[in-house]
Amino acid sequence: MRQEEIVRSFQVAGQGHVFAFWPELDTARRAALVAQAAEIDLDEVARLHRTLVLERHAAADLRALAPAPYESLPEKGGDPAKWARARATGEEALRAGRVAAFTVAGGQGSRLGYDGPKGAFAVTPVKRKPLFQVFAEKILAAGRRHGRPLEWFIMTSHANHEATEAFFAQHGWFGLARERVHFFRQGRMPAVGFDGRILLEGKGAIALSPDGHGGSLRALHRSGALGLMAELGIDTLSYFQVDNPLARCIDPAFIGFHLLAGSEMSSKMVPKAYPEEKVGHFCVQDGRLVVIEYSDLPPAVQRETHADGSLRFVAGSIAIHLIDREFARRMAGGGVGVQLPFHRADKKIQTIDAAGRPVKPDKPNGVKFEMFVFDALPFARKPIIIETRRADDFSPVKNAEGVDSPQTCRDDQLRQFARWLNAAGARVPVDATGLPALALEISPLFGDDAESVAASWRRLPSPPELKPDLYLE
Q: Which residues bind ligand UTP (CB under 6 A)?
A: 104-111, 118, 155, 186, 210-213, 215, 241-243, 370, 398
Strands 200-202 and 205-206, by their bridges, are antiparallel
Looking only at the bridges linking them, the beta strands covering 236-241 and 66-67 are: unpaired
Residue whose CB is less far from ligand UTP, 39 or 286 = 39
Query: Which 8-state DSSP code applies to residue 49?
Result: I
Q: How far is the CB of 86 from ligand UTP (least distance, A)?
A: 26
Q: What is the C-alpha to C-alpha distance for residues 192 and 105, in angstroms, rounded to an integer? A: 24
CB 121 within 8 A of CB 130: yes
Residue 27, burial from CB neighbour count under 10 angstroms (0-12, 13-18, 19+): exposed
Q: Which residue is nearest to ligand UTP (CB)?
A: 107
- Coil, strand or helix at 463: coil
Q: How far is the CB of 25 from ligand UTP (least distance, A)?
A: 28
3-class DSSP assignment, residue 130: strand
- Comparing CB distances to ligand UTP, the nearer of 44 and 92 is 44
CB of 118 to ligand UTP, least distance (A): 6
Backbone torsions φ then ψ of 118, nearest 5 degrees: -60, -35
Which residues is 346 bridged to in the sheet? Answer: 367
What span, in angstroms and rounded, lies between the C-alpha atoms of 319 and 126? 27
Q: Check if the beta carbon of residue 373 is closer than 8 Å to that of residue 216.
A: yes
Least distance in angstroms from the C-beta of 88 to ligand UTP? 30
Q: How far is the CB of 53 from ligand UTP (least distance, A)?
A: 19
What CA–CA distances, in Å, run from 106 to 6, 78, 241, 393, 451? Answer: 27, 36, 10, 21, 33
Our CB check for ligand UTP shows the closer of 109 and 190 to be 109
Nearer to ligand UTP (CB atom), residue 208 or residue 290: 208
Rank residues 106 and 252 by Cβ distance to ligand UTP and give the closer one: 106
Q: Of the two residues 6 and 181, which places its CB atom closer to ligand UTP in the complex?
A: 181
Q: Which is nearer to ligand UTP, 212 or 436 (CB)?
A: 212
Helix or strand or coil: residue 85?
A: helix
Sign of the alpha-carbon torsion through 396, 402, 407, 410: negative
- In the complex, the smallest distance separating the C-beta of residue 68 from ligand UTP, rounded to whole angstroms, is 21
- In the bound complex, what is the minimum distance in angstroms from residue 215's beta carbon to ligand UTP? 6
Q: Are strands 152-156 and 384-387 parallel, antiparallel or unpaired?
A: unpaired
Give the nearest distance from C-beta 242 to ligand UTP in angstroms. Answer: 4
- Select 109 or 196, whichever has its Cβ closest to ligand UTP: 109
